[in-house]
C-alpha cells in the first residue's frame, strides 16, 4: 500500500477518488489546490470557498487530514502566462493539459514527494496498468463518455509512475452512486464546466482583462469584406457561433477557417467539406512528449486531435529535429495550431504533442 496525497477539488470525482483509495488500504491525506481564480475573480463567478468547504467536509467524513495548498504563483507562471501568450500569438492553447503536467503532476506532485508521500491521487477518468516493459501506463477510462486520458497526453513517465486514478475504472453513474452510499456531500453536486482555473467565467470575458481588443475585417475566401471582428484572440478555427455575419446560404452557416495575424483578418467560409482550409489530412507536430517508451520513428498508430474526438488512424513519422509529420486516415475538421494531439496505441496513451502546422 502507498501513502498518497489526494487532490480534492470539492467535486464528486475527487471525493470518490479519496474514498476508493482509502478503501483500497492506502494511507491518504487530502489537499485543495488554491489556484488562480481563488484569488482573482472580478466577475464574482468562482465558487472556490464552497469547493474548499465541500472538500473539507468529505475529508472529515473519511477521517483524513486536509489542507489548502497555495499554488497561485506557480499557476500564473506555468499556465496562465502560457495561455495568454498563445492567444496573443493567434494559436489555440489548451490550459487543462498544461495544468495537469505543470501543476497537478508538477508542483503538487513535487510537494507530495518532498513530504514523504509515494504519489498523488486525482479524480481523472483514466486508468493505469502495466504497459511496455511493465512500467505504469495510462489507458482510456472505463466510461467512454467521460474518458480524460486526452488531458494527460503531455505527462512524462516519471509523473505517471506516481499517479493513481481510481475512478477511471467506474462509470460516472457508479461514481455518484458510490458517493451517495457513503453519504458524501458532493454526491449530487454538478460538475464544473469551466476551464481548469476560470470556473464559470467565459474565456472571452477572462481574455478581455488581459488582451487588448484589436478589431479588424472579417473576409471570405475571395477577400470580400463581410464584417468586423472584435480581435482575433476571440476566435478559433472551426468556430460557428459569435461570428455575427449572416450567411448568404441560409442552410449553411459560416465558420472560421483562418486567422491572418499579419493583416488582422478573420477568414470565414461555409461549413462544408469542400471549403478550403476547413478540413486537413496532414499536420506537423512539435513539443513531442512520450508517456512511456520513446515515440516510434515511424509507425501506424492512432491520434485524438481534440477532446471527445474519436481516435483516428495516422501515419506517424518522427523527424530528427524533434517534430513529427502525421497523415490522418480521413480528413479532420478545424485542426488548429496550439491544440494538443494525443497519441494512442489502442486504448493505451502513448503521449502527446502540439499542432504546429496544419495541411
Is position 159 within any domain? no
Is position 195 within any domain? yes
d(CA 189, CA 176): 9
Of the three residues 247, 270, 293, the one that is the final residue of a domain is 270
Helix axes 12-23, 172-182, angle to 10 degrees: 70
Regarding whether 288 and 171 lie in a shared domain, the answer is no
pLDDT mean for each 10 residues of the chain (359 residues)? 97 98 98 73 63 96 97 91 93 93 98 98 97 95 97 98 98 98 96 58 77 95 96 94 91 95 97 95 98 96 96 97 96 96 98 96
d(CA 273, CA 71): 44
Contact 141, 122 (CB under 8 A): no
pTM listed for this prediction: 0.93
Is position 154 within any domain? no
Query: Residues near 308 by Cβ (< 8 Å), separated by ≥ 6?
Result: none
Report, as residue numbers or ranges, the catalytic residues. 99, 196
Burial (0-12, 13-18, 19+ Cβ within 10 Å), 42: exposed
Closest CA to 141 of 177, 119, 165: 165
d(CA 315, CA 327): 5
pLDDT at 39: 47
Domain harbouring 229, CATH code: 2.30.30.280
Is position 97 within any domain? yes
Cell of residue 7, nine digits: 487532490
Is position 262 within any domain? yes
Domain harbouring 354, CATH code: 2.40.30.10
d(CA 239, CA 256): 5
Regarding whether 88 and 40 lie in a shared domain, the answer is yes
Regarding whether 170 and 264 lie in a shared domain, the answer is no
pLDDT at 191: 84
Is position 131 within any domain? no
Own/partner pairs for 210-217, CB < 8 Å, 24+ apart? 210/84, 211/84, 211/87, 211/88, 214/264, 216/263, 216/264, 216/265, 216/266, 217/264, 217/265, 217/266
Regarding whether 188 and 67 lie in a shared domain, the answer is yes
Region of residue 277 (phi > 0: left; psi between -120 and 50: alpha; otherwise: beta): left
Cell of residue 67, nine digits: 489542507
> For strand 3-7 and strand 119-121, is the pairing parallel, antiparallel, or unpaired?
parallel
Regarding whether 184 and 100 lie in a shared domain, the answer is yes
Domain harbouring 177, CATH code: 3.40.50.620
pLDDT tens by residue, 260-298:
999 999 999 999 999 999 999 999 999 999 999 999 999
d(CA 7, CA 257): 39
Regarding whether 24 and 173 lie in a shared domain, the answer is yes
**Total number of domains constituting the chain:** 3
Regarding whether 197 and 238 lie in a shared domain, the answer is no
Cell of residue 335, nine digits: 485542426
Query: What is the span of the domain harbouring residue 87?
Result: 3-124+165-201
pLDDT tens by residue, 101-155:
999 999 999 999 999 999 999 999 999 999 998 999 999 999 999 999 999 999 9
pLDDT at 38: 46
Regarding whether 118 and 187 lie in a shared domain, the answer is yes
Regarding whether 298 and 266 lie in a shared domain, the answer is no
Regarding whether 44 and 24 lie in a shared domain, the answer is yes
Regarding whether 310 and 183 lie in a shared domain, the answer is no
Is position 130 within any domain? no
What per-residue string of b and e applies to 303-336 under the rule 16 or more CB within 10 Å gives b?
bbbbbeeebeebebebeeeebbbbebeeebbbbb
Query: Residues near 147 by Cβ (< 8 Å), separated by ≥ 6?
Result: 125, 126, 140, 141
Regarding whether 287 and 238 lie in a shared domain, the answer is no
Is position 220 within any domain? yes
Amino acid at each position: 500500500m502507498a501513502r498518497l496525497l489526494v487532490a480534492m477539488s470539492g467535486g464528486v470525482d475527487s471525493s470518490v477518488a479519496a474514498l476508493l483509495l482509502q478503501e483500497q488500504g492506502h494511507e491518504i491525506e487530502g489537499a485543495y489546490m488554491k489556484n488562480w481564480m481563488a484569488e482573482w475573480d472580478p466577475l464574482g463567478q468562482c465558487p472556490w470557498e464552497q469547493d474548499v468547504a465541500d472538500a473539507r467536509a468529505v475529508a472529515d467524513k473519511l477521517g483524513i487530514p486536509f489542507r489548502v495548498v497555495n499554488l497561485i504563483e506557480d499557476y500564473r507562471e506555468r499556465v496562465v502566462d502560457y495561455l495568454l501568450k498563445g492567444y496573443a500569438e493567434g494559436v489555440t492553447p489548451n490550459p487543462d493539459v498544461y495544468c495537469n503536467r505543470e501543476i497537478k503532476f508538477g508542483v503538487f506532485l513535487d510537494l507530495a514527494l518532498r513530504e514523504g508521500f509515494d504519489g498523488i491521487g486525482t479524480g481523472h477518468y483514466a486508468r493505469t496498468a502495466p504497459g511496455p516493459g511493465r512500467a505504469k501506463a495510462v489507458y482510456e477510462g472505463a466510461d467512454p463518455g467521460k474518458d480524460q486520458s486526452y488531458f494527460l497526453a503531455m505527462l512524462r513517465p516519471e509523473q505517471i509512475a506516481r499517479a493513481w486514478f481510481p475512478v477511471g475504472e467506474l462509470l460516472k453513474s457508479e461514481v455518484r452512486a458510490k458517493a451517495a452510499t457513503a453519504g458524501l456531500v458532493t454526491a449530487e453536486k454538478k460538475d464544473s464546466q469551466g476551464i481548469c482555473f476560470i470556473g464559470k467565467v467565459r474565456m472571452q470575458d477572462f481574455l478581455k482583462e488581459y488582451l487588448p481588443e484589436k478589431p479588424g475585417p472579417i473576409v471570405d475566401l475571395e477577400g470580400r469584406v463581410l464584417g468586423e471582428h472584435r480581435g482575433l484572440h476571440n476566435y478559433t478555427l472551426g468556430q460557428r457561433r459569435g461570428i455575427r455575419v449572416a450567411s448568404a446560404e441560409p442552410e449553411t452557416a459560416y465558420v472560421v477557417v483562418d486567422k491572418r495575424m499579419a493583416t488582422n483578418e478573420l477568414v470565414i467560409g461555409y461549413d462544408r467539406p469542400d471549403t478550403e482550409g476547413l478540413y486537413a489530412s496532414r499536420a506537423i507536430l512539435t513539443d513531442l512528449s512520450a508517456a512511456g517508451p520513446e515515440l516510434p520513428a515511424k509507425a501506424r498508430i492512432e491520434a485524438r486531435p481534440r477532446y471527445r474526438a474519436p481516435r483516428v488512424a495516422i501515419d506517424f513519422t518522427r523527424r530528427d529535429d524533434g517534430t513529427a509529420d502525421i497523415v490522418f486516415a480521413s480528413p479532420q475538421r478545424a485542426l488548429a495550431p496550439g491544440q494538443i494531439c494525443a497519441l494512442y496505441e489502442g486504448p493505451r496513451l502513448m503521449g502527446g504533442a502540439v499542432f504546429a502546422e496544419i495541411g
